[in-house]
Amino acid sequence: MCIEGGYKTQTVAQLANVLFAYDAGEVNLKAVRVYLAALVSVASREAAKRSRVRVKRRGDITPRFLIGELSRLSRLSESSVRKGLRALKKVGLLSFGESEILFETLPLEGSLELQSELSGGRPVLRPVPLPRTLLRFLAKCSKASTTKTALAYAVRGLTLSRKGEVTGKGSIKATTISRAMNISERSARSARAELLELGFITDDEGSLQRKLNRTGAYFTVNLSWREPRSLKGNTRGASVGAIKGPAAEGPPPLECNRAVYSSPVISANFAPPKVQNCSNFAPPYKDKKTPYGSKNQETQSSSLKTSGVCIANGGRGGGGLPAPNIRDVRGEDLKSFGRVEELYRQAVRVKLIEASEAGAINFISAAARAARVTGDAPRVFIGIVKRKLWNHITQADEDRALTALRKYRADNPQRFRVAA
């Protein structure tokens, strides 16, 4: 069998070199994507050369590699591609030139353990036929777990025989991928699920549990797999697994591909649609005036049930409130604008505050400030007025006082106006 779309061979040692350099922090994921894009570029030149030999065309054409091509394949900016090439050259993984691209074949120091994990007991210099469609997909992928897991399945599943035939069957455990690729087991299983839904590998449903515990599930690499259409495009800056916003162009993120390729049970990470048959709000019941007071009978507080004569005769009884008294301020006095005005007039008479516009505003603001406390509001109010602690009044309290004063003076301009 052959891989549809062609392939590019890389040894296990070469792939281990790239992954080891990434885990060591010597290169970033963008540099890895540039490396994979360079593989695609070299593979296309090699395919063109074989085609010329097949049709017996004369002459030799020198290939030309451009930064713009790597930028288009990886969907990175040209500056990011140049930076990635410099990092790859510094580590010794790749040497880029307009006439050729050279890949390092010798293993890097420190990557031997990763090579052993990836090879699974097979030779580390074994060539692995990486499909060009997979390389194009991984060159645009911005999820390291997806890239590592796909390469692990490619190494364990794809084999190139001496006759040039390719087979794509193998088995591997998620714990092995997690340990070799330096990712969490949860990330390895999530990436495997994405590859299954994209159709790159097949699922194993017939293995016994002891087989799964020993070497993992069997899988088959789809040799005719093609990159999904929604992931194709020439938009620069967009990458698989990343989206800028609601109006971002380019392909959808990889997490949302499930709703495109697989069963409709898996939903995308978008908000549900709005309900179309919603009804309007009900109109007011009787009239449009703002109601006040309560229509329900309420039990009077025991603190208000003071003994004495009827309040209509100037006393404290009758079950109502006594007349406001500046020497005995109650919490209820601060909640009524009329009672606050009576307290103000008494405070002016006993020379507790001056009879002026500023004095009236300060007095009302102190009442508004005291009404907001959770403790003893009358004590706070008297403390502010007696000690002239106007700096304890906030701008919001003063605005509230001015609004109330303008409202009540609209009916009676003589409110809070006392002759000095």
The string of pLDDT tens digits covering residues 315-343 is 433 347 888 988 888 888 888 888 998 99
Predicted local confidence at residue 396, as pLDDT: 87
Predicted local confidence at residue 316, as pLDDT: 39
Predicted local confidence at residue 231, as pLDDT: 60
Predicted local confidence at residue 276, as pLDDT: 63
Predicted local confidence at residue 264, as pLDDT: 43
Predicted local confidence at residue 304, as pLDDT: 45
The string of pLDDT tens digits covering residues 170-180 is 899 899 999 98
Predicted local confidence at residue 408, as pLDDT: 85
Predicted local confidence at residue 390, as pLDDT: 86
User: How do strand 101-103 and strand 94-96 relate by DSSP bridges?
Assistant: antiparallel
Predicted local confidence at residue 76, as pLDDT: 94
Task: Enumerate residue ranges in the chain where pLDDT < 70.
Answer: 54-60, 230-272, 274-319, 420
- 154: its two tokens: 């490619």
Predicted local confidence at residue 287, as pLDDT: 59
